[in-house]
Structure 1
Amino acid sequence: MTVVQKAAALARSHLFSGSPPATLESLARLAEFRLLGQGEMLFLAGEPARGLFVIVSGSIRAFRVNAKGREQTIHVEGAGATLAEVPVFDDGNYPATAVAEELSEILFLSKADVQRFLIANPAIALNALRLMAGRLRRHAELVDSLALKDVGQRLGRLLLTEAQTLGTHDLNFSNQQLAARIGSVREVVSRTLARLAQNGLIDIDTRARGITILDEQALKRFAEDEV
């Protein structure tokens, strides 16, 4: 990836959008390009954080694993998003493990370079604060969901959220992926999906790992425990 291409990718990112061209070019010259295959690890929870990652294309999933080996997805990010903002500021370790959900292009910026540019560019620092505040809100919603919602409600809410994000009622997830996103196990997700299908809320194509939302309003009521 050329410097010009890197600068263009940074300009499209949520953190660096709106930055002056000269700033983007300077950052681009420091950015390291990485290509990750599906399932390839970007960083491991507990490792010393070396810097910030900008997703150019593809998607990255951040998750934690408990003592029994069960995964809990913390968040999934796509093109334009950044990862590992918090340890860049608090000098801590990576708080979660991150892996590529698909072929993904990444730009890496060292902690020192990011900190220097944030100090010199207050607008970028404000962007960073907004992004971290938004992620904190989503984490609070995740805690609320895990603590106060049952598996069926969490699954319904996830399907609705993904449909809104992707702009389609046709979704493509494995039962294991869904289980990791809602803090459950594959077997429970399978039974819950079957129940939703029996009630006419969704349609399942097991061969293509496809889920189609048939009745959005009914699924919303289900997710909010109104039925």
Structure 2
Amino acid sequence: MSREQRIRVLAKSSLCQNLPETVVAELAARSVERRVKQGQILFTANEPASGMYIVLSGSIRAFRENIDGREQTIHVERAGGILAEVAVFDGGPYPSNAVADEDSDVLFLSTEDVHRFMLLHPEAALAALANMARKLRIVASLAEQLALQDVGQRLATLLLEEARLALPKLQDGVSFSLPLSHAQIASRLGSVREVVTRTLQKLVQHGVIEVRGHRIVVLNVKALVSEAQKRRHGTNTQLS
């Protein structure tokens, strides 16, 4: 990726979106670009951290794994997303594993370079703090979902989030690409592949969605929203 392309992506990231282009260019110059193939591990939990990553293209998923090999996705970062900033600021090891869900390009910034950059540009430090606060909210929401919602609700919520990326103002017929296997979806939802497959089939059978290969078409937005929110509103609208 060219220097100009790096700067363009960085300028849109949560870390740099309010910084002058000259400052963004300075950060780009300090970075090292890496190509990560689909399925390749970027770093592992408890590995000594040497720096953080900013996604240029593709999709990187942060997850934890238990002793039985079952995964729980924590967050997914696409272009402009940041990974491992917690370890850079607290001096500890990487808090999770990170894997490429598709071929991706990332920028690596060493801990020393990040610290130096933040001291020179306090506004970037505030942006990093805001980004970590956003992720804390995501983790809190994830904990709530795992404790209080069933797989049907979590799947409906995931589909709505992906649909909104394609069309912020949702309407029947919106379609989007979901290039994930059922096992990968299960990891995001804290479930297993068989349950995800059955739940997707129910949504199809009830005319809520249509599956065309890796594309999902939302046929009934109202029904999908109802499925995502059923327990929150104390209703019993679970698909059966």
Same fold (TM over 0.5): yes
| Residue aligned with 2:210, SS | strand
Aligned to 1:224: 229
| Residue aligned with 2:55, SS | strand
Task: Compute the TM-score of the two structures, normalised by the length of structure 2.
Answer: 0.88
Letter in 1 for 2:15: L
Partner of residue 203 from structure 1, selected from 210, 232, 240: 210
Distance in 1 of aligned mates of 2:221 and 2:163:
10
1:182 paired with 2:203, answer no
Letter in 2 for 1:199: H
Aligned to 1:141: 141
Shift of residue 209, structure 1, vs aligned partner: 3.5
Aligned to 1:32: 32
Shift of residue 122, structure 1, vs aligned partner: 1.2
Aligned to 1:170: 176
Task: Compute the TM-score of the two structures, normalised by the length of structure 1.
Answer: 0.93
| Residue aligned with 2:211, SS | strand
| Residue aligned with 1:42, SS | strand
Render the CA deviation track for 1:18-37: whole Å, top value 9, x for unaligned.
32333223322221111111
Distance in 2 of aligned mates of 1:115 and 1:25:
17
Checking the alignment, whether the CA contact within 8 Å between 1:50 and 1:111 is kept in structure 2 is yes
Aligned to 2:80: 80
| Residue aligned with 1:11, SS | helix
Unpaired runs of 5+ residues, structure 2, are 168-173
CA RMSD across the alignment = 1.6
1:47 paired with 2:47, answer yes
Aligned pairs, number: 225
CA 1:162 to 1:4, structure 2 compared with 1: closer, same or farther past 3 Å?
closer
| Residue aligned with 2:143, SS | helix
Distance in 1 of aligned mates of 2:176 and 2:121:
41
Shift of residue 132, structure 1, vs aligned partner: 0.7
Shift of residue 2, structure 1, vs aligned partner: 4.8
Aligned to 1:158: 158
CA 1:16 to 1:218, structure 2 compared with 1: closer, same or farther past 3 Å?
same
Checking the alignment, whether the CA contact within 8 Å between 2:175 and 2:215 is kept in structure 1 is no
CA 1:189 to 1:117, structure 2 compared with 1: closer, same or farther past 3 Å?
same
Stretches (4+) displaced over 6 A: none
Shift of residue 170, structure 1, vs aligned partner: 3.2
Aligned to 1:63: 63
Shift of residue 144, structure 1, vs aligned partner: 0.3
1:18 paired with 2:27, answer no
Checking the alignment, whether the CA contact within 8 Å between 2:160 and 2:225 is kept in structure 1 is yes
Shift of residue 4, structure 1, vs aligned partner: 4.4
Distance in 2 of aligned mates of 1:166 and 1:115:
36
CA 1:210 to 1:129, structure 2 compared with 1: closer, same or farther past 3 Å?
same
Letter in 1 for 2:209: I
Checking the alignment, whether the CA contact within 8 Å between 1:15 and 1:131 is kept in structure 2 is yes
Checking the alignment, whether the CA contact within 8 Å between 2:59 and 2:79 is kept in structure 1 is yes
CA 1:4 to 1:223, structure 2 compared with 1: closer, same or farther past 3 Å?
closer
Distance in 1 of aligned mates of 2:46 and 2:32:
22
Render the CA deviation track for 1:113-138: whole Å, top value 9, x for unaligned.
10111122111111111111111111
